[in-house]
Amino acid sequence: MKQIALSLSLAGLAFVMTAIWGGPLLRILRHYKIGKIIRVEEPGHHGVKMGTPTMGGVMFIFPVLLLSGLLNAVALIGVQSGGVGRSILVPMAVMVGFAVLGAVDDWEGIHGKRKGDGMRARTKFLFQVILALATAYVLKYQMDVPDLYLPGLFFEVELGWLYVPIASFIIVAESNAINFTDGLDGLAGLIAATAIGAFGGIALMQEQVYLARFCFILVGALFGFLWFNVHPAELFMGDTGSLSLGAVLAVIALMTGQWLMLLVIGIIPLSEILSVVIQIGYFKLTKGKRFFKMAPIHLHFELLGWSETQVVQRFWLIGLMAALIGIGLSQV
């Protein structure tokens, strides 16, 4: 109970820290004209979002790194015996690595040579794979995290060397899944916060205290970001935020050994990335026909007549119920 209270208190502190520096960050982004460029094929009403400050992921990334680093400073420098607090170094490093990659992509799309497009997809994917492989190797051979837990089984399922490619795939896939989810005001932030909170609860039940604290700090910071990101959004997280959020969510799930629950807890990001895969595959197979009106799937529902807030709220309700179900299944 004490750990739960502390974790929730840290979430509240992270929320306050993020909300306080949100205003100054907005002024900085506007000063340097770091504004979103909207694709011409998106629904027409999205045009009003043109120029809205982006790269807002730094709004929650900096407070998370600062608060997590200070909270675990003793363990991180190795003074505490066992150094269990050092377990958060991996998600913190992943957050920074993917945030830098996303920031480069955002900057290229705003002021770079490929204005409006960002980094080449192959280049970005290559860097994602490199970062994911390095992370998976550390998780497997340096941290010795559990390979896999299955509902109904009371033992760890050993995957051996297969763990590294599987974990790498999960990290890259989840990073892109949250990136695809980030298309409507507040959607990616709400979905990611719910999923990360769910895995934070699982970590608490596994007595991974440091990991749980990190999760709830991130959830609190995301709520602070959402203060500025809910409809009508004053800023967007950009790839700076979405790529790092997805990768961190995957790493947290891998560290609990309950990464299979991403299929349930992360049902919305899974649906988003699958809709893109289905749309592209169907388009190629039928030589020009579309399976959805537009992909990712949140745009499909907008074109069906749902308002932006309806899509966000309904997707979040599904994500919340899926998170509750996932937590329950993880304890079977």
**Residue 82: pLDDT band by 50, 70, 90 thresholds?**
very low
| pLDDT higher than threshold 70 for residue 39 | no
- According to the model, what pLDDT value does residue 41 have? 58
Reduced to 3 states (helix: H, G, I; strand: E, B; else coil), residue 64 is: helix
- According to the model, what pLDDT value does residue 80 have? 47
| Other Cβ atoms closer than 10 A to 307 | 12
User: Do the beta carbons of residue 301 and residue 254 sit within 8 Å?
Assistant: no
Higher-pLDDT residue of 249 and 84 is 249
| pLDDT higher than threshold 90 for residue 87 | no
Amino acid code (one letter) for 317 = L
| pLDDT higher than threshold 70 for residue 12 | yes
Higher-pLDDT residue of 111 and 313 is 313
C-alpha–C-alpha distance, residues 228 and 292, integer Å: 31
| pLDDT higher than threshold 80 for residue 151 | yes
- According to the model, what pLDDT value does residue 45 have? 62
Angle of the 2-31 helix axis to the 187-205 helix axis, nearest 10: 150
| Other Cβ atoms closer than 10 A to 242 | 29
Distances (CA, A) of 300 to 101, 253, 282, 306: 28, 29, 15, 9
Q: What is the mean pLDDT of the chain?
A: 90
**Residue 33: pLDDT band by 50, 70, 90 thresholds?**
confident
Reduced to 3 states (helix: H, G, I; strand: E, B; else coil), residue 306 is: coil
C-alpha–C-alpha distance, residues 203 and 184, integer Å: 30
Q: Which pair of tokens denotes residue 25?
A: 């960050």
47-70 mean pLDDT: 87
User: Do the beta carbons of residue 223 and residue 15 sit within 8 Å?
Assistant: yes
% of the chain surpassing 70 pLDDT: 89
**DSSP-assigned beta bridge partners for residue 35:** 53
User: Do the beta carbons of residue 22 and residue 72 sit within 8 Å?
Assistant: no
Amino acid code (one letter) for 233 = A
C-alpha–C-alpha distance, residues 23 and 36, integer Å: 18
| pLDDT higher than threshold 90 for residue 81 | no
User: Do the beta carbons of residue 212 and residue 7 sit within 8 Å?
Assistant: yes
| Other Cβ atoms closer than 10 A to 279 | 19
225-250 mean pLDDT: 95
Alpha-helical (H) ranges within 41-154 are 58-71, 73-76, 89-110, 121-137
Backbone angles phi, psi at 225, to 5 degrees: -65, -40
Distances (CA, A) of 8 to 44, 86, 215: 40, 21, 10
| pLDDT higher than threshold 80 for residue 73 | no
Distances (CA, A) of 195 to 2, 191, 199, 252, 327: 22, 6, 6, 10, 10
- According to the model, what pLDDT value does residue 34 have? 80
% of the chain surpassing 90 pLDDT: 75
Q: Which pair of tokens denotes residue 201?
A: 């609860």
The DSSP string of 202-248 is HHHHTT-HHHHHHHHHHHHHHHHHHHHHSSSPS---HHHHHHHHHHH
101-114 mean pLDDT: 84
User: Do the beta carbons of residue 29 and residue 56 sit within 8 Å?
Assistant: yes
